[in-house]
Amino acid sequence: MKEWESMAVTKNKSVYVCQSCGYESVKWYGRCPDCGEWNSLVEEVRQQVAAPKTRAASAAPAVPRAAAQAARLSDISSDDSQRYKTGVGELDRVLGGGIVAGSVMLLSGDPGIGKSTLLLQICQYLCGGLKILYVSGEESARQLKLRANRLGVESDNLYISATTDVENVLETVRKLSPDVVMIDSIQTMNLTALTSSAGSVTQIRECTQVLIGIAKSAEIPVFIVGHVNKDGAIAGPKMLEHMVDAVLYFEGERHQNYRILRAVKNRYGSTNEIGVFEMGQEGLREVPNPSLMMLSGRPKNVSGTCVACVMEGTRPILAEVQALVSKTGFGTPRRQAAGFDYNRAALLIAVLEKRGGYFFGTLDAYINVVGGLRLDEPAADLPVAMALVSNLLDKCIPDDLAAFGEVGLAGEVRSVGSIQQRVSEAYRLGFTTCVIPRHCVSMVDARDMPDLNLIGVQNLSQAIAVIR
């Protein structure tokens, strides 16, 4: 046999990978054929080892693979005791009750929103009985120490590793045997076997896969911090969200004190729950009563403001909706919404014009939800519409009034869920008048609310009649 026939051949292959969606191609395109992004294809060189083509190798029988172990569903334990409390009630609420052993959680948000701060703060509580490995690829160990001192985090069970090499992380996990691993951030991690740079689609995908293997094989929960791009989506391949068990988003503006933690994916809990935090000098502080926070500083006897009661998971939250209508200085009137869907706002204005007779054609309309909360629930339609008409007519909505209900294209007010919880929360905070869909009035038990005034409405005209 010739010597060259027995040796493996190593070849380099160039592949163009889209940095937005992970699409791979052997040719470069100015625009990604999959996601449509321009100039997103980056060349990556991959090494391929070709097996020698020998007669003996071709004649050799295939080695049988080991059979996968299967277990009956009834024999698998469903004990939920392997959840670790974080010491932060708002985070436990979003996670569905705590950290599940062996789970992989992706924490994302804008720069400076508080991702690293939150992870360090929960370390103070977890280190009381667990060993934690915090891997930082963005800060040195000394920088993390300074941040921990500012947050009051100090424990002998917290280990810091300032590295970007996933192989080093694996070796540290093997020697240390931690109970929880935190990676900050996944965009800085890299595998030396890959020729692509850190932060590329290939590196993020492969590094995440290695970390998932650690979590599942050793039953170690892993927190992964992920950056976002200019559009607010997690930087890297879209499949990254499919690979992990939970995806948590930090929402809010850096110049505002309040932060909202929302789960957009959770295999072990509800995706409708939110956690509310306040950023201070000592870090993040949980807000147990978000409704009171949202309504603090609310103006009195001012037109264009209405209180909405929405459901975030199992929690009713009261939020102030503000509207401003003014004469436009442009050829086309402006429509702007903060904390509310722009298209939904345009739809409500069209319904008010067509069904209510209120003209907005030459007027700018601005909608704002106070506190940085985003109202995605249809129940916010009615308070938004009432706030718009209130400012248009320059008439005040009573300060003790709260409203909720979905508005249809015919101007009708449709029923929503969790009526009793919404009304009880509004009454607890001093709102004695509630404008709700007429079909929902019979669902309210007002025995413990003696001075409650329920106003059931069938359409927008009846709701607007409440405005002074």
pLDDT in tens, the chain (468 residues): 444 444 454 567 788 888 777 788 888 888 888 888 888 788 877 665 555 554 444 444 444 555 557 888 777 776 655 788 999 998 998 998 899 999 999 999 888 888 999 999 999 999 988 999 999 998 999 999 999 998 989 889 999 999 999 999 999 999 999 999 999 989 999 998 887 788 888 888 889 999 999 999 999 999 999 988 766 666 666 678 889 999 999 887 666 778 889 888 999 888 878 888 988 888 888 888 888 888 888 888 899 999 999 998 788 999 999 999 999 888 889 999 998 999 999 999 999 999 999 999 889 999 999 887 888 899 999 999 999 999 999 999 999 999 999 999 999 999 998 899 999 999 999 999 999 999 999 999 988 898 999 999 999 999 999 986
Q: 203 and 153: one domain?
A: yes
**Whether residue 236 is found in the same domain as residue 214:** yes
CATH of the domain at 395: 3.30.230.10
Within 13 Å of residue 218, how many CA atoms lie on the same side as its CB?
19
- Kindly state whether residues 101 and 195 are assigned to the same domain: yes
Q: Is residue 184 part of a domain?
A: yes
Residues 157 and 239 in one domain: yes
Q: Note down the domain range covering 36.
A: 7-52
Structurally, the chain folds into a number of domains equal to 3
Whether residues 296 and 265 share a domain: the answer is no
Distance, in Å, from the CA atom of 273 to the CA atom of 261, rounded to the nearest integer, reads 9
* Bond into 185 cis (ω within 30): yes
Residues 189, 165 share a domain: yes
CB 357 within 8 A of CB 393: no
Q: Is residue 67 part of a domain?
A: no
